[in-house]
Structure 1
Amino acid sequence: MKYRIFLSAFLFVLLPAFAQAEYRVFVLKITKKSADPQAAQTQDFRLVESTLDHVQYRYYYPVAADEEVTYIDTWRCYGRTGDFQPHCPNPKGQIPAEPAPAP
């Protein structure tokens, strides 16, 4: 009987303490659609980091009908996202810079 109580306490109290949270960050490109093919090359766009993918983003945030949301990049982050913490940096962009040549 004592063994079951100890096992239950371990499963319900101690085991969740070892659980780790993770989330995914997406880089989305929001571009204004244009009917003019010449203007397609010089379109204005903005890049957004979000925990929502390109389909979910449109339903959660206001996006104009003439704007297109495109998925660019993604990576996984470990930890919590509460308290408005910033997203973790992209590990692909953490390449050490080459030393500058001496003058």
Structure 2
Amino acid sequence: MKYRIFLSAFFLILAPTLSHAEYRVFLLKITKKSADPQNPSQDFRLVESTLDHIQYHYYYPVGADEEVTYIDTWRCYGRTGDFQTLCPNPKGQIPQGENAAP
């Protein structure tokens, strides 16, 4: 009986503190489709989101003349609640002029 109480207390109190959350950030490019295929449009915007290029259409308004393209993705650790900002892209953290390899 005591074993069952101890096991229940472990799962209710200690297990949530040991778990770690993570999420994925996607860099999306939203481009206006051009009516002329010979002269493609250069009008675009970059968006960082936790939704991929397929899911983004269902949650945010995207015009019929706009196309959402997947550019990059990276993993972040922690929670996304309480409107916290998304973690930055770690690939952009390395200075271009320095060589990280010895």
TM over 0.5: yes
Distance 1:98 1:56 in 2: 37
Provide the residue aligned with 1:4 in structure 2: 4
Once the two structures are superposed, the pairs formed by residues 17-28 of structure 1 within 5 Å of their partners are 17-28=17-28
Q: Does 1:55 align with 2:54?
A: yes
Q: What SS class does the counterpart of residue 63 from structure 1 fall into?
A: coil
Distance 2:49 2:63 in 1: 18
Provide the residue aligned with 1:43 in structure 2: 42
Please report the TM-score for the alignment, with normalisation by the length of structure 1: 0.88
Distance 1:58 1:2 in 2: 53
Distance 2:76 2:69 in 1: 21
Provide the residue aligned with 2:71 in structure 1: 72
Higher helix share: 1
State how many pairs are aligned: 98
1:97 deviates by 4.6
In structure 2, stretches of 5+ residues that fail to align are: none
**1:77-98, CA deviations, whole angstroms, 9 ceiling, x for partnerless residues?**
0001112111101111111253
Please report the TM-score for the alignment, with normalisation by the length of structure 2: 0.89
In structure 1, stretches of 5+ residues that fail to align are: none
Distance 2:2 2:97 in 1: 62
Amino acid at match of 1:12: L
Amino acid at match of 2:86: H
Amino acid at match of 2:10: F
Amino acid at match of 2:75: R
